[in-house]
Amino acid sequence: MNYQDIDTPALLIDETVLNRNLEYMSAYAKNKNVKLRPHTKTHKMPYLAMKQRDHGATGITVAKVGEAEIMAVYGLKDIFIANQIVGKQKLERIKKLAEQINICFGVDSIHHIEEIDEVFEGADKKAQVLIEIEVGEERSGIIEEIDYKLLLNSIRASKNVELKGIFSHDGHTYKAVDKDDCYDLFMTATTRTLHFANIARDMDFDIETVSIGSTPPFMFGFDIPEGVTEIRPGTYILMDGSQSNAINSYDHSAASVLTTVISKPTDERVITDVGAKGLTAQSRSKGLTATEGFGKIKEYDGVYVYGVFDEHAIIYNRAFNQSVNIGDKVRIIPNHICPVSNLYHKAYLINNDEVVKEIDIAAQGKLQ
């Protein structure tokens, strides 16, 4: 059927643009001689994860244990949870997954090592961990070298934990002022990551993996310093308003939300049937990824969602108002695709305006 026949709100994915994005990142990783381990929290769809694997990904990244469990059910066998895992319940689930697939996860504290060591006692193989290095995002990760060395010694003393490598996330590149600033932030973060890898090597640790991530630097095609072994871009596969603003083009925007015009109360106000529950209320306010409003109307230049209620999008644009009728359907490019994917049970893959596949968002809501 034509995508215009889909009931709304609905998440759409343009197959042509999707494939172009997949091919771009695959070629980029190959050209830079690094492994590709995409972050599937962007889409939460095993179908897309398998397409990423088919386009050269050596494994995938997830954010939560529940996502890893779903991806494993669908045949993904090499998974990294780029997050600190705390709590014996979650660690027991990882221990069980480790019996079937290659799985590793993040740590940044001696507390993590002690808890993992206890849970993995008696396991067939040691827990595989990567230490997270904080590189400027001001989130989780090791900051001080002394704490890092103490953590390394804790791993050395552990019976059931094995250090596979280190990782970092330069998410603050989303707030870069321009391309040059993005490059400086990227290089500073990557240099710091490599420095910590060398500290571990100086302490006689075999660092197999040095993993870095976030989409903006890779969309710009920056060179990757020697010593980095893998990259973890997420948003690149579907893109969104903020990423499109960064590269000054919506040509890579594969995802959109289909919505119906349900009211035109004034000659400039238009109401559609998707709100915060289907679009989120997210925006970006700083740097090259800064967004206007709460989503861009795909079919109309310069038309944005002014505001959202739970179930309503509010648009103020006189020309747009005169161009659409109640009952018409338009597409909205979300500001941030990752949380939007988590709001839908399925997505519709379209090609030349025709629906070619319904894709189950199997990891939707897997937050534990």
Q: How many residues does the chain have?
A: 368
d(CA 22, CA 57): 10
Per-residue CA distances from 306 to 112, 145, 337, 351 (Å) = 44, 46, 18, 29
Give the distance between the most distant pair of CA atoms in the chain: 71
d(CA 241, CA 243): 6
pLDDT by residue (tens digit) across 325-339?
Answer: 999 999 999 999 999
Q: Using an 8 Å Cβ cutoff, are 366 and 31 in contact?
A: no
Q: What percent of the chain has pLDDT over 90?
A: 99
CATH code for the part of the protein at 15-237: 3.20.20.10
What pLDDT, on the 0 to 100 scale, is given for residue 84?
A: 98
pLDDT by residue (tens digit) across 340-366?
Answer: 999 999 999 999 999 999 999 999 999
What pLDDT, on the 0 to 100 scale, is given for residue 283?
A: 94
Could you list the beta-strand ranges (E) of the chain: 10-14, 35-36, 60-62, 78-84, 102-107, 127-133, 161-168, 209-212, 230-231, 255-263, 269-272, 296-297, 307-308, 313-316, 329-333, 346-351, 354-360
What pLDDT, on the 0 to 100 scale, is given for residue 96?
A: 98
Q: Using an 8 Å Cβ cutoff, are 329 and 300 in contact?
A: no
Q: What are the start and end residues of each CATH 2.40.37.20 domain in the chain?
A: 3-10+242-360
Amino acid at 7: D
What spatial distance separates the first Cα and last Cα of the chain, rounded to whole Å?
36
* DSSP conformation letters of 228-239: B-EE---GGGT-
What pLDDT, on the 0 to 100 scale, is given for residue 311?
A: 98
What pLDDT, on the 0 to 100 scale, is given for residue 319?
A: 98
The pair phi, psi for residue 84, each rounded to 5°, is: -80, 130
What pLDDT, on the 0 to 100 scale, is given for residue 80?
A: 98
What pLDDT, on the 0 to 100 scale, is given for residue 145?
A: 98
Beta strand 354-360 with 346-351 is antiparallel
What pLDDT, on the 0 to 100 scale, is given for residue 104?
A: 98
pLDDT by residue (tens digit) across 224-280?
Answer: 999 999 999 999 999 999 999 999 999 999 999 999 999 999 999 999 999 999 999
Angle between helices 65-73 and 46-54 (to 10 degrees): 70
Q: What are the start and end residues of each CATH 3.20.20.10 domain in the chain?
A: 15-237
Please give the average per-residue pLDDT across 84-112, as a whole number: 98
Instruction: Choose among 234, 255, 259: nearest CA to 348.
Output: 255
Number of H helices, E strands in the chain: 12, 17
pLDDT by residue (tens digit) across 246-260?
Answer: 999 999 999 999 999
Please give the average per-residue pLDDT across 86-101, as a whole number: 98
In this structure, what token pair is assigned to residue 173? 């590149």
Under the banding of pLDDT at 50, 70 and 90, the label for residue 135 is very high
**Mean pLDDT over all residues of the chain?**
97
Which positions ≥6 away from 318 have C-beta within 8 Å? Answer: 267, 268
For the whole prediction, is pTM greater than 0.95?
Answer: yes
Domain 3-10+242-360: CATH superfamily, name plus number: D-serine dehydratase-like domain (2.40.37.20)
What pLDDT, on the 0 to 100 scale, is given for residue 88?
A: 97
